Structure 1
Amino acid sequence: MSRLASKIPPINRPTIMDVARRCGLSKTTVSIILNESPASSRVPPETQQRVRDAARQLGYRPNWRARALASRRTHMIGVLYTPPMPLIVRGNYEGIMAGIHEVLHKNNYHVLFVPLGHNPADWGKILLDQRMDGALVLSRLRGPLASIIEQARLPVTLVNADAPDHHLPTVVVDDYDGAAQSTRHLVGLGHRRVSFLLGQQPPHYSVTQRQDGYHAVMRDNGLADHLQVLTCTPEEFANNLLSLPPLERPTAVLVYTHYMAIKLLQLLWERQIAVPRDLSVATFSNAYPVEDVIPPLTTVALPTEQMGRAAAELVLEQIRTDGTAPPRRVVLKENLIVRKSTAPPAGAKGN
């Protein structure tokens, strides 16, 4: 033994027997409660609380391997995502993960990140060997993944992804209403030539919903002739803007993602197109740095932390009921935040 090791005092960890003595209960009863065995449902709630209080006072920490064996649960929830990893810890997913962690932590569950690579066979190895009690899917539910989830009989909740054909618990936002709120704001300022910069996007429910919300408000205000959904890049949009006669240019643009909107602000500044004097810009998501760019962006804020909390609650509900709870679809409302990137068009009365 080294000199350093000889100076380290032994760690006397409290045992289940210590907790049992403190409570005046049998070791078996205490073990059933602390390891969250299915048999714990037969123990009165006040007794369960007394055991947990004693364990906390003594500083007892259960052996997670023993707990998993006793309860047949790992207390791990997989978060399935499409690489690269940074996409789940920034932007909208930063808030979603914060909400997920909040609920799982309160319920003594932990997160296991599961990247969905290009080989579906790898997905099966992870999901079918029961390393997790349930999964939160942050990726589009592609065919192979849906099939593997069904084989694994794994409690699953979709987060910011929709798969109406699979009848799974789902948490989404009302992007139709969010786009309608934003378009209504721009039209209310006096804009008539309002474009929607969509860019090239992968399949996602928000693509259709945002276009539909924009279309509806434009049509309701007699502006169907000015409908313009653009699939070009922000750079192409900025260049095209300069090539148009002033009276044919859009005076406002709704941008599909905040990443595109921030890039567009830079491109417009380089071309001496002032925001919002020459062009009002609105977008989606209140993630950093939307509020800190110049000018701060008017945006439709997504309730990301609420999405994460709702998704975690849904998957825990499926686990507690052994998958018998009917799958619920939670739709959360978005909120328009008006900042300095939008204003009445140049020449409007009172401007």
Structure 2
Amino acid sequence: MLAEHLQLSQTTVSLVLNNSPSAKSIPAETRQRVLEAAERLNYRPNYFARSLRQSKSMSVGVLAPDLSEGYFTRVMSGVVQELTQAKYFYFTACHDWNPELMKEYPRMLVERAVDGFLLLNTPAEIDVPVPVVAISAHGSEEGVTHIVLDHLKAAEMALSHLHELGHRRIAFMRGPHAIPDSEFRWEGIEQAAKGLGLELDPELVTRIGAGNGTDEVGWSEKTGHHPMSPEIGYLPMMQLLKRTRAFTAVFCFNDIAAIGAVRALTEAGLNVPGDVSVVGFDDIQSAAFCTPSLTTVRQPLNEMGMRGARILLERIANPDNAELTAEVVIEPELVIRESTGPARS
């Protein structure tokens, strides 16, 4: 044991290794000796013992629909940064919108004694005895802190940009029913369009999941494709093009769908942005490296992940704090790149 090896008390060693404020009273030479010995002996603190002392497992459960490139990876990078700094471990469970898994995973994670839950793009309809923070879920569940984007402002930014470029016939690719953001984003689009005097022609509205003649099922189980591959935008755009080409721009639910839409438009012999301008949403890492690079509404996903993890850790540390923040609203930003240009005459 490290304390015996150094012939020091367990309390002294513990205070130094845990960087406790009380460690300042320990002579600098002793502190240095403990740290050097811990490094030399590859010592790791006993988290199980610590968790028993603190009545905490030092772990949280993260629930997400999938682990695909894009939204999840950007949010999770912020989550990991905060949890690692706080020396917290995390279990990530991917439910793929399976109702049974969405009920079972929270139970399994509670059995593993997680101290709290972080929900990514997942409805916060879970009954658990620990703090819950939900990112992009929306809702008013008791005891849940929601971190959401200002979707009205996001829609106003995107549609104002297209309107200024002369676009009046704008197509829309709505998100899947299952994703909480879908309806809130669409409500923002309806409101923003009304403010600009833009008509929302039902003929120009398609939806992720409608690519094979079905609705939600076509988005995951039946196609056999990963929920968040560019095909989610490619198929609806191909279907829209079969119906009509009487539009000069398309506003897609997310960047992954926009990348698929650009591919479909190009295959149909249309130039982006010469014939059709394309706007995405999220500003994932690959958005800047597409050809053409993607104009998009940026969600500060990394920051949202950091804020979510930070708030969850604060709630775990202070479970009796009466001042629970029910909602934190995050501001979007428009990033203009090559995929948008003046409307064709």
Give the alignment's TM-score, normalised by structure 1: 0.77
Taking the aligned partners of 1:201 and 1:44, their CA distance within structure 2 comes to 53
Output aligned runs, 1:127-276, within 5 Å.
127-141=109-123, 143=125, 146-147=126-127, 149=128, 153-198=129-174, 200-204=176-180, 206-224=181-199, 229-231=205-207, 232-233=210-211, 234-238=234-238, 240-241=240-241, 244=244, 249-276=246-273
Deviations 1:262-304 (A, max 9, x none): 1111111111011111111101021142222211111111111
Q: Gapped runs of 5+ residues in structure 1?
A: 1-13
Taking the aligned partners of 1:71 and 1:46, their CA distance within structure 2 comes to 22
Verify: 1:95 aligned to 2:95, yes or no.
no
How big is the shift at 1:306? 0.3
Match of 1:3 in 2: none
How big is the shift at 1:256? 0.9
Verify: 1:74 aligned to 2:57, yes or no.
yes
Structure exhibiting the larger radius of gyration computed from Cα positions: 1
Checking the alignment, whether the CA contact within 8 Å between 1:77 and 1:134 is kept in structure 2 is yes
Checking the alignment, whether the CA contact within 8 Å between 1:173 and 1:302 is kept in structure 2 is yes
Taking the aligned partners of 2:291 and 2:184, their CA distance within structure 1 comes to 28
Paired residues in the alignment total 311
Match of 1:46 in 2: 24
What residue identity is the alignment partner of 2:88? Y
Checking the alignment, whether the CA contact within 8 Å between 2:16 and 2:34 is kept in structure 1 is no
Match of 2:329 in 1: 331
Checking the alignment, whether the CA contact within 8 Å between 2:75 and 2:303 is kept in structure 1 is yes
Taking the aligned partners of 1:49 and 1:185, their CA distance within structure 2 comes to 62
Taking structure 1 as reference, are residues 135 and 18 closer, same or farther at Cα in structure 2, changes over 3 Å only?
farther
Verify: 1:15 aligned to 2:12, yes or no.
no
Taking structure 1 as reference, are residues 52 and 191 closer, same or farther at Cα in structure 2, changes over 3 Å only?
farther
Secondary structure, counterpart of 1:291 in structure 2? helix
CA-based RMSD of the aligned residues comes to 3.0
Taking the aligned partners of 1:125 and 1:223, their CA distance within structure 2 comes to 47
Taking the aligned partners of 2:235 and 2:107, their CA distance within structure 1 comes to 43
Taking structure 1 as reference, are residues 197 and 78 closer, same or farther at Cα in structure 2, changes over 3 Å only?
same
Checking the alignment, whether the CA contact within 8 Å between 2:60 and 2:116 is kept in structure 1 is yes
What residue identity is the alignment partner of 2:261? L
Taking structure 1 as reference, are residues 210 and 276 closer, same or farther at Cα in structure 2, changes over 3 Å only?
same
Checking the alignment, whether the CA contact within 8 Å between 1:35 and 1:70 is kept in structure 2 is no
Match of 2:230 in 1: none
Verify: 1:343 aligned to 2:341, yes or no.
yes
Taking structure 1 as reference, are residues 73 and 167 closer, same or farther at Cα in structure 2, changes over 3 Å only?
closer
How big is the shift at 1:343? 0.4
Give the alignment's TM-score, normalised by structure 2: 0.79
Secondary structure, counterpart of 2:190 in structure 1? helix
Taking structure 1 as reference, are residues 260 and 75 closer, same or farther at Cα in structure 2, changes over 3 Å only?
same
Taking structure 1 as reference, are residues 254 and 124 closer, same or farther at Cα in structure 2, changes over 3 Å only?
closer
Taking structure 1 as reference, are residues 279 and 93 closer, same or farther at Cα in structure 2, changes over 3 Å only?
same
Taking structure 1 as reference, are residues 55 and 181 closer, same or farther at Cα in structure 2, changes over 3 Å only?
farther
Taking the aligned partners of 1:98 and 1:106, their CA distance within structure 2 comes to 12
